Each structure stands twice: as structure tokens, then as C-alpha cells.
Amino acid sequence: MRKLKLFALPYILWMVVFTVLPMFLIVYYAFTNAPGNSAPTLEHFFKAIDPMYMKILLRSIWIAFLCTALCLLLGYPVAFLLARARNGAVWSLFFILPMWMNFLLRTYAWMSILENTGILNSLFVAMGLGQMELLYNENAVILGMVYNFLPFMILPIYTNLQKQDVSLLEAAQDLGCNGWRVFTRVTLPLSMPGVVSGITMVFMPAVTTFAISRLLSGGKFMLFGDIIEQQYLSTGNWNVGSMLSLIMLAIILLSMGLMGRFGSDTKDGGGML
Amino acid sequence: MKKKVSLVLALVLLLALCVPLLTGCGEQQTVLNVYNWGEYIDKDILTQFTEETGIKIVYSTFTSNEEMYAKLKAGGGNYDVIFPSDYMIERMAKQDMLHPLNYDNIPNITHIMPSLRNKAYDPGDVYSVPYMWGTVGILYNTSMVDEPVDSWDILWDEKYAQNIFMYDSSRDCFMPAMIKLGYSLNERSDEALQEATDLLIQQRPLVLGYALDDIQDKMVAGEAALALVYSGYVVGAVEENPDLAYAIPKEGSNVWFDAVAIPKSSKNYEAAEKFIDFLCRPDIALANVREIGYSTPNQSAFDQLTPEEQNNPVCYPSEEELARCDVYVDLGEYNEKYDDAFLRVKGN
């Protein structure tokens, strides 16, 4: 046992230097003013709860919610089919494959597909349908996010469904359930841990999204992640940026706690990759 | 448990002690850290500099003055040569972030046009040497715009709804709005800022996107009819798409200067000055301006351009056009107010 703990040491060290210390720095920046002056202040908090920022925060949460719901709606059936398919593992590769490429590259690819002079619109124009406004709006952002985060929904559900005991399904059938009832009474309730971890894994990155939103909306549609980035990189106000990050962190912890409560209601975990 | 915590802390401290040791050794060769805008130099001259002087160059890039400033302010990166714009030089000088240049080490300064020296942003050229200059104006596609483009009003014309790109920076977006309202582009008052914000919010439904460097590619591809751009984008864009043209609106605009400076935190003042002198050498300045297509402040390099290049109204506008243009000055506490207002425009 003692020896095993020793193996964890490099990671603990890593975490202290790159997670815990930066975290303290963020808290420090959020509650102090200008370098050198360590008197605590709530100034940045009052700046951060400006209605403008709160509006963007609510929007981010709403978009993340929408994105998670869409991912679940699209992802569950896919995961179900994959789990039942004979070569599920091979097919699931197709969903992992795009993740081998950086998400920014894939987002840029979406831009050239959707833009006015892009692939889809050229096709529409050639077919006489006329140009459509596909890029530079909210829908493009949601599309980009669902596309990027869908694998994080499919994979945990797939892993869970795949591990389900077939004899349970057979038992349900023997006892007179039709296919639909087997699904709603047995498969679905048993897959809840997978669904919960899928939701967590999509909601977290969705609510903190930046860059995707800026690129696909042409900078017209900002999410909370974008304003944090802006505070650090262009406004140069690290204090407000840190405070906004803390608010984001609080929301994530809150929703994780909420999901955790959901998750623990259903028995035996699993599904989490 | 306590023991373990102290062990971890001890290791962290040890690690922290090692860092300066690691960077300290193996440094027989002088290394110069150059921090420039993206695509803003002829990379070949960097190797040439190393060949001539034996000084190694580590080259990195930024996308906005604000990004560069934020990084230096935070103490990140040891840069020896930076390329800030006019108002940023003023701000950094005010905050004692720049090293005064020793012109004994920069004899090639004589090649810089006298009319572009000693500007208000850096009186006496104490901290900076001009590198490139240009204007802000409207890049438009003549196959989509029939009327003459000569006023900022066209960026508010409903006819071009969803056909306009704006440059994604608070200063550059507020500039036309302020001028349209009859204010200076360096306006510092809450009422003016509010009016300009309202004007930009009014414009927002017409804007296709707020973009950065990709504006050039998008305009070449014909994504939009009009775009607010730096003159430097124009030469390359027109080469690729002859339908594009550039105009400096009659109401006036911004003329800007990017200059070379040395941050106070540099440890290689002399090598940095050597590099700045190298950049002022006519053959080097010529290679740079040919590569990036902005306007050179170097008289000797300018003289070696072809008459066609010299008479290009995009790079070298007429005296009369330039007289209408103003230089940005540092806005001080209004920097953040502009940024907040811009967020209000975009986040609406």
C-alpha cells in the first residue's frame, strides 16, 4: 500500500504546481487590486455582476443546456445502435476518429463549409436554391458545439449499454414485455449512470466554451468563456477575469454536485470513461 | 500526512530553485527574443542577422497590442525587441516599461523619413523607431458596391445588411463611429462614448462578423461587400482579387505607426539596439516592405521601390488624404471603458 502511494507522488506534485497553485492565484487576483497591493476588495465582484456579464452568463448556461439536450437526443440512439451492432467497437471508432484532430481545425473546417461562399452555399446556388445565411449566427454556434461535444455523450452511454447483462433483457421478454417496454423498464433505467456522465461531460465544456462561439458567430455572439478570454488577453484586467472565472467555477461545482446527486440515486456507476 | 505535505512542499521549492539554474547554463551565444505581429517581417532577414552578428534570434508573434501589453505587464516572457503601435508606445512609456534608445548604436536611423520622426506619441523618439505605417479605411468589392465609397456612412447603409465586416478591436470599431458623430477619434467623454455605443449597436444587425486577420481571406473570397481594415491588408488582397478596392473616407480616419522598441525588462539592450539598427538598414527595410506590403518609413528603402509601388495610393496616400487622418493617443482610464462599451455592442 505504502509503495502504491509513492507512485502517486509525481501526479500529486504535478497537481500542486499546475492546478492548486494557479487556483490560489486566481482567488488572489479576484479579491485584490493591482500588483503589490494585497488589501482584499470586492470591487471586481461588483464589476463582474454587471447586468451585461450576467446576461452573457445566462445565455451561456442556456446554450450549454440546449447543446447537452441535443447531444443526448442525438447521442443516445447512436450509442444504443452501436452497443447492439455486431461490430460496435469498429463503428465507434468513426466517432472517435475526428477527435484525433484539434477542435479548432475542425471548427475552421465548419466555417468554410457554412460561409456565404462556402461548400454548402455553392451547392445551394448551383441547385438554384439561392444563398442561405448559415454562418455568423447562433445556430452555427450550436451546431459547432454539438458537433464537437457529441462523442463525449455517445461514448459513456455506449460503454454502459455494452456492459448491460443480456440475460436481464431476456428475462424481461420472457415475462411478457414487448421491445419498447424492455427498453423503457430495463435498458433505460440501467443506462442512467452512463447518461449522467455523458451529460456532465458535455455540459462542462459547453458552458465554458470559447473560440468556437467567436469563430462561428463572427464575433457577434459571445459566451462567458469569450469574455473571460477578453478580460485576460485584450482588456488586460486579470482581476475581473479571475473573478469571472471564479463565478464560472462556482457554477460548474454547483451543477456537478447536482448531477452527482442524480448519479448516486441510480445504483452501480460505470459508464464514465 | 503532515510529513507528506512537507515533502511535497519541499519538492516544489526545489523545483522552483532549479528553474533559474536551468535557464542560466549553456548560454555562450547571445540570444535575442523578438516579439512581433504575425506575418509582419521577412523571415529570411532573421537568419541573415544571425549570420552577420552571431546573435541568435528567438521569434514569437502576437495578434494585438493589448495581448502584447498584457503579457509584458504580467512579467511573462523575456522579450528584447517588441513592435508596439503609437498609442501603446505612449502607454508603455508612461508606465516606465520601455528602455530609452541609445542612438549611438543605431546609426541607420538617418534613413528614416524626417517627417515620420519625432511624433506626438514618442516626442524625440526616445523609446521607438518607426517600423511601418498605414491607415485604416474601407476595403470594398467593386462587383458588389456600385456607388462610390467615400464616407463612413456606407457602413451604416441598410443596403449592405449582413455584408459588412468590422475589425474586431474596440479602438478601430469606435473610430468611425466617433468621427461620424463629429468627435475626435481620441474622444474621452462618457456622453460621446454612449452615443458611439448606440451608433454601433444600431449598426450591429448589418454586420456579418467582427473578425481579425481572416478578414483579408474572406474579402478575397467575396464573403462580404465592405470591410473595415488596415491598409496593409489591401495590397495582398487586391493582388488576389482585382475587384477589391480601398478608400479612406472623406470624414477622416486613423493613421498609425508601428515602431520598434525595447522593453525595460530586456537584458540585452545592446544586441536589441543592433537589431533595430539592422531593421533600419535600407536593404533590410526594403525586403520587409516588399514581403508584407505596408508602408515603409525608410526613405532609402522607399527610393528603391518601383514608381508603381511608390505611387500606390493605398500605401502612400496623398498629403491631402493624410491631413485628414489622426494618430491614436493613449486613452488612459478610458481604455477599459472603450473595451466595456465594445462588449456591450457585441454581446447585445
Q: Which of A32-46, B3-17, B257-271 shows the highest mean pLDDT?
A: B257-271
For A17, the closest of B12, B210, B224 (CB atoms) is B12
Is A48 domain-assigned?
no
Tell me how far apart the alpha carbons of residues B276 and A210 are, in angstroms, rounded to a whole number: 37
One domain, residues A128 and A64: yes
Distance of CA B52 to the CA centre of its chain: 28
Q: Do A236 and B168 touch (CB under 8 A)?
A: no
- pLDDT average, residue stretch B285-308: 93
pLDDT higher at A236 or B336: B336
Q: What does the block give as the cell for B168? A: 474586431
Average pLDDT over residues B48-54: 95
CA B155 to chain centroid: 23
Q: Indicate the burial class of A59 (C-beta count within 10 angstroms; 0-12, 13-18, 19 or more).
A: middle
Question: pLDDT over 90 for what percent of chain B?
Answer: 73
Residue of B nearest to A60 (CA): B347
pLDDT-derived band at B28 (thresholds 50, 70, 90) equals: low
Q: Does residue B229 sit in the same domain as residue B331? A: yes
> What's residue A64's pLDDT?
95
Query: A251 and A217 share a domain?
Result: yes
Tell me how many residue pairs between chain A and chain B have CB atoms under 8 A apart: 77
| Mean pLDDT, rounded, for A241-269 | 79
Phi–psi pair at A214, nearest 5 degrees: -65, -45
Of B209, B218, B340, the CB nearest to A220: B209
Which three cell numbers, joined as nine digits, stand for B251?
470624414
Using an 8 Å Cβ cutoff, are B97 and B284 in contact? no
User: Is A238 in Cβ contact with B74 (below 8 Å)?
Assistant: yes
Q: What is the pLDDT of residue B261?
A: 97
Domain carrying residue B37: 2-133+257-317
For residues A255 and A206, what is the distance between their CA atoms, to the nearest angstrom?
A: 13
Confidence of residue A267 (pLDDT cuts 50, 70, 90): very low
C-alpha cell at B81: 525587441
Average pLDDT over residues A93-98: 84
If one counts the domains in chain B, the total is 2
| CATH classification at residue B237 | 3.40.190.10
Which pLDDT band, with edges at 50, 70 and 90, does B25 fall under? Answer: very low
The average pLDDT across B76-95 equals 91
Query: CB of A152 within 8 A of CB of A169?
Result: no
Find the mean pLDDT for residues A98-125: 90
Q: What is the pLDDT of residue A255?
A: 84
Of A16, A227, A230, the CB nearest to B8: A16
Q: Which residue has the cell 433505467?
A: A189
Same domain, A16 and A111: no
Q: What average pLDDT does the segment B61-84 reach? A: 87
DSSP structure string for B163-221: -EEEES-HHHHHHHHHHHTT--TT---HHHHHHHHHHHHHHGGGEEEEESTTHHHHHHH
Question: What is the mean predicted confidence (pLDDT) over B233-252?
Answer: 93
Task: Determine the distance in angstroms separating the CA of A171 from the nearest CA of chain B, rounded to an integer.
Answer: 51
Return the beta strands (E) in chain B as ranges: 31-37, 56-62, 81-82, 128-141, 164-167, 207-211, 226-230, 244-247, 255-261
CA distance A236 to chain B (A): 5
DSSP code at position B255: E
A34 forms bridges with which residues in the sheet? none
Closest CB from A55, A115, A235 relative to B339: A235
In B, minimum Cα distance to A59 occurs at B347
Q: Judge if A179 and A225 occupy the same domain.
A: yes
DSSP B280-338: HSHHHHHHHHHHH--B--BHHHHHTS-HHHHT-TTTS--HHHHHT-B-----TTHHHHH
Predicted local distance difference test score (pLDDT) of residue B66 = 84
Residue of A nearest to B221 (CA): A117
What is the tens place of the pLDDT at every residue in A56-95?
999 999 999 999 999 999 999 999 999 988 888 888 888 8
DSSP, res A58: H
Q: Do A219 and B168 touch (CB under 8 A)?
A: yes
Report the gap between the CA of B263 and the closest CA in chain A (Å).
18
A contact test, residue of B210, B212, B219, B243 with most A CBs within 10 A: B210
- B335: amino acid identity, one letter: N
Extract the runs of DSSP E, i.e. beta strands, from B90-157. 128-141
Do B268 and B146 have their domain in common?
A: no
One domain for residues A122 and A240 = yes
Lowest-confidence segment of B21-30, B94-103, B125-134, B263-272 by average pLDDT: B21-30
Determine, for residues B11 and A234 on separate chains, whether the beta-carbon distance falls below 8 Å. no
Closest-CA distance, A95 to chain B, in angstroms, reads 30
Per-residue pLDDT at B11: 53
Tell me which chain B residue has its CA closest to the CA of residue A215.
B211
Q: What is the pLDDT of residue B4?
A: 54
Please write down the HEC assignment for all residues of A5-48: HHHHHHHHHHHHHHHHHHHHHHHHHHHEECCCEEEECCHHHHHH
CA distances from A12 to A60, A175, B250 (A): 33, 52, 63
Name the range with the highest mean pLDDT among A7-21, A169-183, B143-157, B332-346: B143-157
Mean pLDDT confidence for B168-181: 94
pLDDT at position A88 is: 82
| Nearest-angstrom CA–CA distance, A61 and A75 | 20
Q: What is the pLDDT of residue A133?
A: 86
Q: Which domain holds residue A133?
A: 57-265
- From chain B, the residues in CB contact with A236 under 8 A are 66, 69-70, 73
Asked whether the beta carbons of B112 and B129 are under 8 A apart, the reply is yes
The stretch B288-309 carries a mean pLDDT of 92
Both A107 and A209 in one domain: the answer is yes
Q: How confident is the model at residue B12 (pLDDT cuts 50, 70, 90)?
A: low
Is 90 exceeded by the pLDDT of residue A265?
no
From chain A, the residues in CB contact with B170 under 8 A are: 234
Of A16, A117, A217, the CB nearest to B222: A117
Interface test with A, best of B63, B223, B243, B334 (most A CBs within 10 A): B223
Domain membership flag for residue A52 = no
Q: What's the mean per-residue pLDDT of chain B?
A: 89
Is residue B196 located within the same domain as residue B313? Answer: no
- As for the ipTM of the complex, it is 0.80
Same domain, B192 and B144: yes
Beta bridge partners of A37: A33
The chain-wide mean pLDDT, for chain A, equals: 88
CA torsion angle for A174, A180, A183, A188 (degrees, to 10)? -150
Task: Please tell me whether residues B215 and B341 are part of one structural domain.
Answer: yes
Q: Please indicate, yes or no, if residue A22 is contained in any of the structural domains.
A: yes
pLDDT of amino acid B38: 87
Give the number of other Cβ atoms within 10 Å of residue B238's Cβ.
Answer: 19
In chain A, % helix, strand, coil (3-state, to 5) comes to 80, 0, 20
